[in-house]
Amino acid sequence: MSSRAPALAATLAKPASAPAGVPLGAMQARPAAVSPAVAPPMWLLAELTYRCPLHCAFCYNPVDYASNLNELSTAQWLDVIRQGRKLGAAQLGFSGGEPLLRDDLEELVAEGHRLGYYTNLITSGVGLSEPRIARLKAAGLDHIQLSFQDSSREMNDFLSSTRTFDLKSRVAALIKQYDYPMVLNVVLHRYNLDHVERIIEMALAMGVEYLELANTQYYGWGLVNRAQLMPSQEQLRRAEAVVNAWREKIGKRLRILFVVPDYFEDRPKACMNGWGSVFLAVAADGSALPCHAARSIPNMEFPHVTRQSLQQIWYDSDAFNKFRGDAWMKEPCRTCEDKHKDFGGCRCQALALTGDAANADPVCGKSADHDKVVRIVRQAQAAQVGQGGAQPLLFRSDANSRKLARAKK
Ligand code: FES
């Protein structure tokens, strides 16, 4: 699953991909003007389960996910989907964990389709048999995004800690057979950036129409494994050159999105296109989140879909209002001319790197903490795969999740 989330975050960070964003201040006094000014969500993401057959070391799921494996029932998900549509959401994503582990996926897709959503399945492919894809097609599923970890069986299977390469290859063929537009997503990092050429060749051979080469975003398990996953500048430069050469060569036959890790930039990404602006995620246990990593922010209470309506959650909850607009911003964001373009960057990244989610995202060259990002990147220059004293990757698993949850206490 992990492999898909960073691409989603990257997609939402692109101003062109989606329409679009109140604060520390809003916690105390929510401006009366907020509700009418706030547009409805565009994207409803149903993270149906945190269960997953894969063990990706860059998974964006919370590292302590195994401490709470409760899941909403079918009736509760149906209610969320109906409320989301009524609220105005147009796109409904099914993610996880692995959403195919839910036996009711077809029923949820069918309801989404009936209500007029554009429905999207974000999957590792594990569990997508021919009868299943036929049922999903009949239910009205519009789009499937399949993740691969690399172009070779050895590396794909190492990075997911499973033997799934052959199965994924069969699923790719099924997706084509059932006439779906196919998006292939590969999360990039130090271990596979040098394989970009072969990944593109693999995508072409599979008849992929849209290839997302999204460098790892450092949240969840990706943050735990940051030192091991961070590529060198040289690796990135080479990979980007390869992508550009292929774009020239093949034109529109395969559209390739290459997302640079934002630690290598000096302008922050417009994360989620602004907090509480277009994106509403509902986690497996029913918590409503303004972004998938939001639970990493301490001292925030996230509303629950069984206790409040989605309408109340979206417009009136403290969690969704906390970083909307710009009243919460400190300097340098408060007076920055780009604040309505980048919204101060990513709240979760500001928290992870500075300890305060209301700070400017330190990826920004204007942030007083930008040197932290520069240092992290420099350390990565020295380290190459198998060198630099990096610890082994910590793969996502229930046992590791419980261990990390205990260590956090
Ligand atoms: Fe960027 Fe949470 S991941 S705001």
Residue among 251, 268, 245 nearest 209 (CA): 251
Task: Write out the H or E segment, with its range, that includes residue 167.
Answer: helix 165-177
Task: Please state the atom number of ligand 1 nearest to the C-alpha of residue 275.
Answer: 4
Cβ 213 under 6 angstroms from ligand 1: no
Q: Which of the listed residues 291, 296, 353 should we mutate to test ligand 1's pocket, taking the one with most ligand atoms within 8 A of CB?
A: 291
Supply 64's token pair.
């302590």
Residue 139 CA to ligand 1 centre (angstroms):
32
Q: How far apart are CA 274 and CA 298, in angstroms?
A: 19
Query: Residues 187, 58: contact at Cβ < 8 Å?
Result: yes
Q: With H, G, I as helix, E, B as strand and everything else as coil, classify residue 363.
A: coil
Between CA 359 and CA 333 the distance in angstroms is 8
Question: Taking the model in full, what pTM does it have?
Answer: 0.88
pLDDT in tens, the chain (409 residues): 444 443 444 444 332 222 222 222 222 233 333 444 899 999 999 999 999 999 999 999 999 999 889 999 999 999 999 999 999 999 999 999 999 999 999 999 999 999 999 999 999 999 999 999 999 999 999 999 999 999 888 888 888 888 888 899 999 999 999 999 889 999 999 999 999 999 999 999 999 999 999 999 999 999 999 989 999 889 999 999 999 999 999 988 999 999 988 899 899 999 999 999 999 999 999 999 999 999 999 889 999 999 999 999 999 999 999 999 999 999 999 999 999 999 999 999 999 999 999 999 999 999 999 999 999 998 877 765 445 445 788 999 999 999 999 887 7
Closest ligand 1 atom to residue 347 Cα is 4
